[in-house]
Structure 1
Amino acid sequence: MIALIAFLAPVHAHAERVRDLGQFQGVRQNQLTGYGIVVGLPGSGDDNLEYLTQAMKGVSGRMGLTLPAGVSPGLKNAAAVMVTADLPAFAKPGQRIDVTVSTIGKAKSLRGGALIMTPLYGADGQIYAMAQGNLAVGGLGISGKDGSNVTVNIPTVGRIAEGASVERAVATGFDSNAVLRWNLFDADFLTAARVRDAINRRLPGTASVEDGVTLALRLPPEPDTRASVMAAIEMIDVDPAETPARVVVNSRTGTVVINSAVRLSPAAISHGKLTVRVEERPTVVQPAPFSQGKTAVEQNSTLSVDEEKRAVMLFKGGASLAKVVDALNLLGVTPSDLVAILEALKQAGALKAEMVVI
């Protein structure tokens, strides 16, 4: 059986909510990152890494403790880490968000550690949250003196639930812009036009198309009314355009995904397997007694060529996905052979679809 995943859903699209097709511009999560230190580790830290030593000296300096010049503290109980978090839309100062902590050095485990107060920065270089707290680590690492070790899951990554406090809100333009923009997840002019028409049927004169992704929405300025209108717009049902015919090939795993819009023009496929065998049977030849000959190796090669006979499969014009799958299964092709067949059909102009190799 070939490694083929086929979506046999009907070709015609079904109604979907506006909120499932796109989102309002600016109403999204923002990524935050920070560089911090985890302390309290049971000897599984970074030891004397230079960047960790400098960071520890900086932390000590903020607390009024000056380490002696030229002295590198033993930091086996500390680890340099990167802290990441997602800042939700409309997050306000004082709210709590989850953070993920990952080692960047040679620390073996973060189990039992605590993150020292770490500022989290946005893409604009501003501080949006402060993180601190005890880590919950799902992994476990154990090592012996003879060098043997056992690792369960990933002990170098931990998480702190509600470990960061939001310090700055991100402006979304929700309450200040006269026109709000709504963006499709996937660009499509027909879907954008249908969303516009559906919104205007409910709220005449509200929506207009700017391009294949964006709609401009003229909404009431009052925040309370604007929120109600946005909620109503998100729940409107729309029939999106049919998905373009597409074949996706994963070259690493051999997985092939074909959507239901794929069609074939008239084509014939013959797929066979050619096997060439070369067998070597060397023999040792001994010279006659008392002769001047020498012992030698005589080569003996046997060559054979076998080619499997396979039937020619004929596809009529407009063959559906189900027929394509059945025919390819009858041919007994492997994933790599399937990719070769699809590429050949595309080159022959019989495959009416876009091929995407990932």
Structure 2
Amino acid sequence: MQTAAFRRLVSALLASLLITISMASTISPAYASRVRIKDIADFEGVRTNQLIGYGLVVGLHGTGDKLTNVLFTRETLISMLNRLGVNIRDREIQLQTHDVAAVMVTADLPAFAHGGGRIDVTVSATGDATDLTGGTLLVTPLMAADGEVYAVAQGSLATNAFSARGAAASIVHNIPTNGHIANGAVVEREVPLDLVDRKLQHLSLRNPDFTTATRVAQAINSSLGRNIAHVEDPRTVALDLSNIDRMEALYRIGDLLVEPDTLAKVVVDDASGTIVIGNDVRISTVAIAQGNLTIQVTETPQVSQPGPMSSGTTTIAPRTNINVNNGNSAKLGILHNGPALSDLVSGLNALGVGPRDMISILQAIKADGALQADLEVR
């Protein structure tokens, strides 16, 4: 009985899985490429604010600043001790501790953050400290661009790094002079932002484009049943919310689906050999020959020793071997006009070249005028 029941359960699960796969396969590519408006645009005024502060990290195991070299760490430590009732400024005391480091503390204050909430902070050494692992950040006010304190940070650091040193060798993994404190700052001041009383609201696209902005306005007007959205420029869509529940409208607008349009662009990073090709990139039919020129220079100096009992001196005779390979095996290949990204990638791979050679090829194709896209080299 148990075996029969188990078989019926497996059959039901398989049937459900097949139905799910069948439904997923019927989704059109156009619908799959649609995204929510709140994932490609921001409401005007709803943004984060950068905070910065200067503080001290204590509890380091001899990896902090050298107070004889970093004077601002020494002065900060003396000032902090004076505020705590320990007066050493007027005394001839030579501070020799290596367990303190001066740091810069940065954080992002999100929109609608309320007093008492917590945010993450990043701590970075400013002196000659070698490792912040295991340190504790003392109370540090975090200020915004207006000079007001919006949060206060304190807590134990986590660096996700380690360093080991010996007499003749050392190893460092990741960056031990940069740390992170999760929920390490308490919000003390809120950034005022009132969306309820705004009759005219603006949507700002993260990637400006006239086509995308028009589609966003059309989707909003179709969903809300009235002409409340119009395009002001490729980045901005204005919303007239004077005769509608503003908060409900903003909620519904954020979840609307649109298909964003992007410019045809190729981005290459010459340093790492990275190539990113957009979906709308097209290349006209061109013929390409990529040759490799290799020059190898080898130095094998010969040492000439004088004979015994002679008055000669030891001399070194230079000997250089130069080998040149101009890549005669390179062939002329034809890169056909590709109607899709997959065909373009297949055509480039068929040439049998590496990423760095492919970057040179793309630059040459752009110079020839056959690359129908923007080429951005970083």
**TM-score normalised by the shorter chain: which range applies?**
0.7 to 0.9
Task: Report Cα offsets for 1:236-267 as digits up to 9, x if no partner.
Answer: 111222x2221111110112222221212232
The whole-number CA distance in structure 2 between the counterparts of 1:193 and 1:301 is 66
Segments of structure 2 that go 5 or more residues without pairing to the other structure are: 1-28, 303-316
Task: Report Cα offsets for 1:186-213 as digits up to 9, x if no partner.
Answer: 0001110110111111221322222111
Matched, 1:124 2:143: no
Aligned residue number for residue 91 of structure 1:
113
Q: Give the residue type in structure 2 aligned to 1:43.
A: G
CA RMSD of aligned residues (A): 3.3
Residues 313 and 324 of structure 1: CA distance in aligned 2, closer, same or farther (over 3 Å): farther
Aligned residue number for residue 137 of structure 2:
115
Aligned residue number for residue 266 of structure 1:
285
Q: Give the residue type in structure 1 aligned to 2:346.
A: D
Aligned residue number for residue 126 of structure 2:
104
Matched, 1:163 2:184: yes
The whole-number CA distance in structure 2 between the counterparts of 1:107 and 1:259 is 44
Matched, 1:339 2:359: yes
Which secondary structure state, in structure 2, belongs to the residue aligned with residue 116 of structure 1? Answer: strand
**1:147 Cα deviation (Å)?**
5.8
* Higher relative contact order structure (alpha carbons within 8 Å, sequence separation ≥ 6): 1
Which secondary structure state, in structure 2, belongs to the residue aligned with residue 28 of structure 1? Answer: coil
Residues 45 and 271 of structure 1: CA distance in aligned 2, closer, same or farther (over 3 Å): closer
TM-score (norm 2): 0.77
> Aligned pair count?
331
**1:156 Cα deviation (Å)?**
2.5
Assess if the C-alpha contact under 8 Å between 1:121 and 1:129 holds in 2: yes
Q: Which moved more, 1:62-71 or 1:304-313?
A: 304-313
Segments of structure 1 that go 5 or more residues without pairing to the other structure are: 1-9, 284-296
Assess if the C-alpha contact under 8 Å between 1:46 and 1:78 holds in 2: yes
The whole-number CA distance in structure 1 between the counterparts of 2:270 and 2:54 is 36
Aligned residue number for residue 292 of structure 1:
none
* Higher percent of residues as helix: 2
Assess if the C-alpha contact under 8 Å between 1:29 and 1:87 holds in 2: yes
Which secondary structure state, in structure 1, belongs to the residue aligned with residue 203 of structure 2? Answer: strand
**1:328 Cα deviation (Å)?**
2.8
Which secondary structure state, in structure 1, belongs to the residue aligned with residue 141 of structure 2? Answer: strand
Assess if the C-alpha contact under 8 Å between 1:112 and 1:135 holds in 2: yes
The whole-number CA distance in structure 2 between the counterparts of 1:281 and 1:149 is 33
Residues 325 and 239 of structure 1: CA distance in aligned 2, closer, same or farther (over 3 Å): closer
The whole-number CA distance in structure 2 between the counterparts of 1:85 and 1:57 is 26
TM-score (norm 1): 0.81
Which of residues 19, 25, 28 is equivalent to 2:44?
Answer: 25
**1:67 Cα deviation (Å)?**
1.7
Q: What are the residue-to-residue correspondences of 1:1-358 with 2, within 5 Å?
A: 14-48=33-67, 49-69=70-90, 71-144=93-166, 146=167, 148-203=169-224, 204-219=226-241, 225-241=245-261, 243-273=262-292, 307-317=327-337, 319-358=339-378
Assess if the C-alpha contact under 8 Å between 2:297 and 2:320 holds in 1: no
Residues 17 and 68 of structure 1: CA distance in aligned 2, closer, same or farther (over 3 Å): closer
**1:43 Cα deviation (Å)?**
2.4
**1:31 Cα deviation (Å)?**
1.6
**1:45 Cα deviation (Å)?**
1.5
